[in-house]
Amino acid sequence: MPHTMARPGEKHVTAKGPQLTFHGAAGTVTGSCMEFVGAQARVLVDCGLFQGSRTLETLNHGHFAFDPRKIDAVVLTHAHIDHCGLLPKLVRDGFAGPIFCTPATADLLRFMLADAGRIQESDALRRNRRRDRAGEAEFQPLYTEADALKAWGQARPVPLCEWFEPAPGFRTRFWNAGHILGSASAELVIDGCHVLCSGDLGPDNKEFHPDPQSPSGVDHVICESTYGDRAREKLTIEQRRDRLEAEIKDALVRGGNLVIPTFALERTQELVLDVIRLAEANRIPNVPVFVDSPLASQATRVFAQHAGELEDLTGIDICKHPSIHYTEGVAESQRLNSLSGAIILAASGMCEAGRIRHHLRHNLHRRDSTILFVGFQAAGTLGRVLVDGAQRVRLSGEDVTVRARIRRIDSYSAHADRDELHAWIKARLPISGSLFLSHGEPDAVAGLRDLVQPDDPALKIHTPRLGEVYELRPATPAKRLRTGRIEVGGRGFDWSGPDWQNDYAAFTSSLRSELSQIRSPTARRKAIARMKQVLAQAQAE
């Protein structure tokens, strides 16, 4: 049965093969969501939360670009929130079908989604209490913890490499993606058309997991491009521990705290294991190490349950080691404010939510403290602003001066870098249809495209934008049926970069200091008057 789809006022376009629509992670890293429409059913691969600038996050609050009630199933690649974080909203809005994932992902999903629901509720409460929002409409949570647990109840675990039918006309199986516990690439056969979705791919020789595996010779491949323009230094696990040892010693000799923003899932467990190994070898000072994230504690327990499936965990219990203290309650977390000379790991990894913001507020202004970043920082996030060298930032409506030392280790990334992505794609050749490069900022996507194209000059490579629709056929390059969502952001809008709210925060945090540098009080008033005039002119345009 041919498919037709168009916006109001557009001509209907008839597709003879399955359709693919990019609802997220197109022109940006987060919000992964792809809709496949076959002759008999509709299936989503992932349904993730947009993370980054406030403008990008507004996409989470709008209506889905499809009817959730008409989605037959979801195929979930892994439990990171930018891949699963909109599932509770999907269910709340009418999706009643199964969510297929690996068994480890199903175990993690319970805690990841429940935590996300609690964050949504507490974030809405916090925003509504802020003095600078007085008089504005009440902010509503995206979804609740109850919505999240209902979504988790629809999870259906399936082992790796086992074929299953998520919906009529679809056959699917999962392959190890080597990214985090339970992560998978998804192979789909849709009405005879063979498609491979990479999901997020892990680097070679990653702790805990074997290298990624997937089939070759498919019709179409959708590959992530997070580090598509960046090659990292190749380090062994022991060399990485050497780097961590040096950072810990340098931070603690300053007398303050070492604060590490970390992702609760996978990154925390890797860091905990490395800290334990360093402590057991007496390579770092005997100082308290706190994991201040209830979600990280829960995820660590899931890791322990799956220890038999993981590498490098033989003979060690990362849940109960005496070197590590897991904090649970808010009161325990707040008591860390009075510490100096401690190591504090807290989520979230990009500093956009969670207890890390609390610890940044108490440590960023301290010259003796160190903030160590160990993961990717998306454009527009507080983490990216700090890594890029901001001298002042806004935290929960307050200006905070950055005096702490900002450091970064790039060897803990759970993502394949440029060369590893290139090698993974090359191993998938021949690709008889098209290669789609998604899940990356524009420069990363362009860099990977330029690297891959010479391997097969005839291969059609697409770099999709948000809302684009393609027709897929066997052994035939994909045909674009519809352009991106111009009504969202405007033509040429770059979702991956900082937005006006990032600019506003940077401007206002330094405004008082800059005005004080104008010697004459009269001149200061004139400067403020001119700024008001510029705003009035912009409003009139």
Rounded mean pLDDT, 461-476: 96
Compute CA distances 287 → 127, 161, 366, whole Å: 36, 44, 19
pLDDT band per the 50, 70, 90 thresholds, residue 455 = very high
Q: What is the pLDDT of residue 478?
A: 97
37 within 8 A of 19, measured Cβ to Cβ:
yes
204's CB contacts (< 8 A; 6+ apart) are 211, 416, 420
**CA pair distance 247, 136, nearest whole angstrom:** 44
Q: What is the pLDDT of residue 20?
A: 98
**CA pair distance 46, 77, nearest whole angstrom:** 6
The amino acid present at 181, given as its one-letter code, is L
Kindly report, residue by residue over 252-267, the tens digit of the pLDDT. 999 999 999 998 999 9
Q: What is the pLDDT of residue 530?
A: 86
Q: What is the pLDDT of residue 461?
A: 98
Overall fold of domain 15-231+414-482 = Metallo-beta-lactamase; Chain A (3.60.15)
**Terminal-residue alpha carbon distance, the chain:** 49
Q: Does domain 237-408 have CATH number 3.40.50.10890?
A: yes
Q: What is the pLDDT of residue 436?
A: 98
Smallest CA-to-CA distance from 80 within 182, 227, 196, 210 is with 182
Question: Helix/strand/coil (H, E, C) string of 479-512?
Answer: EEEECCCCCCCCCCCCCCCCCHHHHHHHHHHHHH
Side-by-side strand order, sheet with 73-75:
155-157, 99-101, 73-75, 42-45, 34-37, 19-22, 469-473, 476-482
Q: List the alpha helices (DSSP H) in 38-142.
A: 54-61, 81-84, 87-92, 103-129
Rounded mean pLDDT, 315-333: 87
Q: Of 124-128, 189-193, 258-262, 373-377, give the lowest mean pLDDT range.
A: 124-128
Q: Of residues 484 and 201, which shows the higher confidence score?
A: 201
Residues in the chain: 541
Q: What is the pLDDT of residue 523?
A: 84
Kindly report, residue by residue over 509-524, the tens digit of the pLDDT. 667 777 778 888 888 8
349's CB contacts (< 8 A; 6+ apart) are 261, 262, 263, 267, 356, 374, 375, 376, 383
Q: What is the pLDDT of residue 159?
A: 97
Rounded mean pLDDT, 356-372: 95
pTM over 0.85: no
227 within 8 A of 203, measured Cβ to Cβ:
no
Rounded mean pLDDT, 469-486: 90
Place of tokens 């307050």: 398
In DSSP notation, 367-421 reads TT-EEEE-S---TTSHHHHHHTT-SEEEETTEEEE--SEEEE--TT-SS--HHHH
469 within 8 A of 351, measured Cβ to Cβ:
no
Statement: residue 2 has pLDDT above 80: no
Percent of the chain at pLDDT above 70? Answer: 91
Identical fold between 15-231+414-482 and 237-408: no
H/E stretch holding 5: strand 3-5
Q: Of residues 10 and 475, which shows the higher confidence score?
A: 475
Q: What is the pLDDT of residue 310?
A: 83
Grouping H, G, I as helix, E, B as strand and the rest as coil, residue 244 is helix
**CB-based burial label for 63 (10 Å; 0-12, 13-18, 19+):** exposed
Phi and psi of 169, rounded to 5°?
Answer: 85, 0
Rounded mean pLDDT, 462-475: 96
Smallest CA-to-CA distance from 238 within 343, 312, 317, 177 is with 312
Domain ranges of the chain: 15-231+414-482, 237-408, 509-540
Token pair of 398 as six digits: 């307050």
The amino acid present at 467, given as its one-letter code, is G
Q: Of 110-119, 312-321, 481-490, give the lowest mean pLDDT range.
A: 481-490
pLDDT band per the 50, 70, 90 thresholds, residue 408 = very high
